Amino acid sequence: MRKSRIDSSYNYKYDIITKRIIDILLSISGLMLLGWVILLSFLISTIDTRSNGFFTQDRVGKNTKLFKIIKIKTMRNESNNKSTVTVKSDPRITKAGYIFRKFKIDELPQLINVLNGTMSLVGPRPTVVEDMQKMNEMQRNRFKVKPGLTGLAQINGNTELTWPQRIEYDLEYIEKQSLWFDLLIIFRTFQILFKGNIETHPRGKDEWLEI
């Protein structure tokens, strides 16, 4: 039932045409306005982590196609720690990294992903392959649209939510997707960011378990 509801409510014209135009215009504006913040954060991270200040990783995009996500590095390299989940007390996070994560500065380079078309400003957050493999057929409907810098789940708890809870918000977003809904999500994201209230770290190492 829900799958047919998602299929029938998917706004192709808005998602492919209108939303893409908005993504291009706002990502260019964002890069022009915040380019200096990205550069400064990159330099600080390079010094703080003693390595390349940019971090790239394979993520799952629209129609489950893989792409390279770009972030400011917030953790030291530790070859013996392969976990893809970063909890609040993670010793790998640098001092600057905590600040970057708190205000989502580490996500700003993803404006490049938005500009090149692998991401959108608003949509389900991009996942690693390991999380996609845990999703059932219904949950994988979240990959019908491009992943976003922010989304409905991010303004309703973000990583405080378990993955199943986040996916419910992702599917709700696809059902309700529109220009005004996107603008509302962007506005609420800025509200939360300015207050420093957006949750960045999950409550446990297994984000699929109900706590």
Strands 120-122 and 148-150, by their bridges, are: parallel
State whether the Cα torsion 99-101-106-111 is positive or negative.
Answer: negative
Q: What is the pLDDT along the chain (211 residues), one digit of tens a residue?
A: 566 566 656 666 787 889 999 999 999 999 999 999 999 999 999 999 999 999 999 999 999 999 999 999 999 875 444 555 555 567 788 999 999 998 999 999 999 999 999 999 999 999 999 999 999 999 999 999 999 999 999 999 988 899 999 999 999 999 999 999 999 999 999 999 887 666 555 555 556 565 4
Our measurement of the distance from residue 123's CA atom to the centroid of its chain's CA atoms, rounded to an integer in Å, reads 8
User: Helix, strand, or coil here: 210?
Assistant: coil
Query: For residue 55, what is the enclosing H or E element?
Result: strand 54-60
